[in-house]
Chains A and B, each alone.
Chain A
């Protein structure tokens, strides 16, 4: 078991900067998801931790040991690759036991640990088959079993579920979570799928354009994003952003008045999750013109606009909605965030709850 410290790591390819001064700490036994769109540098960061890529500057520590200059085999970690990378010329048994054989483990120990890893991932019936005889999902299990068989201190996973079909992915996700919880391995999991990150991780690190935007527990990242990028990337549908004018330290939206965070002039961005808006009466909310209503079974998704800007709202399935009709909405208590319109960063993040309360008080006056 080991913690991971990434200290000021920068990676550039020629003039392109893939990672810019990334600092990250992963606690022993923690499951951290590196989340971001493709090209944000998350895979590069993972490969730097693995030793498959060399950082341009900065250091990586695993379990208190500086591994920055060490080759992958000396870092004491295991990895699951996006395309599984199970060895096609070896049986499943040989694949799972590969790391142990390389480490010079004796036959009895290999046998025992291969059996345990195989049982954990339910691949015992396939142990004597070759990867070509297995389905994608089964190969994925082999790749995970191979990684767990060496009982690594650190497990790195690079989009391990992205090549599976939707149903299988859901199944494997739940299974992975329980397997890894049991193993208690420090895990870094790269993904571009925010539901995967939310569902699996203890903490999420959101990467964008080579920089870490926010690190925190899934609920925190979801409810109080540090930037408009995080708000827009995490959550489906994404967070709504309304750019509003600030007048006398007040922000007005329909019948609602919010106290603007201290020191804000001109314009400010109000962020609110689609499910944090609720229909209300005209005197308690702001007007919303409904354009499209999508009944999705568990909820209805409404798309429309308010003060000339697009807004998405998620309402319970029994809500009466009529396209074209004027509705009034208000945000739930403490569920709005304020963003700087130029930098996109959250302003007065800890004030947002108070501001929300103020707003509704003002509205009820």
Chain B
């Protein structure tokens, strides 16, 4: 084995451990109960008396289910807005050479550089005025702002990967521009758009800061857990964390291939 290969494999192991060990520890804490969480030194093997009791306890906490529902509501709305706004913008970026296209591309990314913390107060005031404060719709709008840059850039690269000639062939053989898009471009881009949608969903699902600031009673799951679990015993916190992770990990796992091609675009 050459040195290069050794370094390469070590890198992979470190990266995997970086991601997997915390998830594993959280899962262990969630199913192992109070004893495992409090034991020292940490046991890396699961204890004999595994039980879902803690997770069940966690799910029985008042408000968990309703806040999960708000989370889903906000995430679905965020997903819909990101696709409805991001896909046309991506199409425009991919197909039309307009003045300032590069600047626009950069600007879209720059919105991510703007710290949400600075926006929090004016946003809160604005949302109260508009009646959006403390609603899943309000949260979803904020999350759309976070997810939109990805939606725009990813769908732009999706459309760029679809040869223009396919669309032109559709026009020549009887399609209007909209018909050509629906019959030829959209079916080809659909898996990628689905991945983008799921990514937007996960961004919204995981986001905690804006959700905490913009809600009081209708908190999303992350915001709710942040406020409730800070007073709970550690093993319940682990259970909460574990329940939160599952959908994200699952979704990201489903669309992992698409996301890799998405990072490829980031170099463009």
Contact = CB atoms under 8 A, between A and B. Distances in A.
Interface in A32-68: 50-52
Contacts of B111: none
Interface in A59-90: 71-73, 77-79, 81-83, 85-89
Contacts of A78: 172-173
A102 B184 CA distance: 12
A85 B166 contact: yes
Interface string A284-299: 0000000000000000
Interface string A264-287: 000000000000000000000000
Contacts of B170: 87, 98
A81 B184 CA distance: 16
Contacts of B177: 71
Interface string B179-221: 1000010011000000000000000000000000000000000
Contacts of A150: 173
A203 interface: no
A89 B165 CA distance: 14
B176 A79 contact: no
A88 B170 CA distance: 12
A78 B171 CA distance: 10
Say which size band chain A's interface belongs to: 20 to 34
B175 A87 contact: no
B172 A79 contact: yes
A103 interface: yes
B85 interface: no
Given A87-B184, A88-B188, A89-B187, A79 B169 contact: yes
B169 A73 contact: no
Contacts of B169: 79, 81, 85-87
Interface of A: 50-52, 71-73, 77-79, 81-83, 85-89, 98-99, 102-103, 146, 150
Interface of B: 163, 165-166, 168-177, 179, 184, 187-188
Given A73-B174, A79-B172, A83-B165, 9 more contacts: A50-B168, A50-B172, A72-B171, A77-B172, A78-B173, A81-B165, A85-B165, A89-B184, A102-B175
Instruction: Report the 6 A-B pairs with minimum CB-CB distance, sorted nearest first.
Output: A102-B174, A85-B165, A99-B173, A85-B169, A72-B171, A79-B172
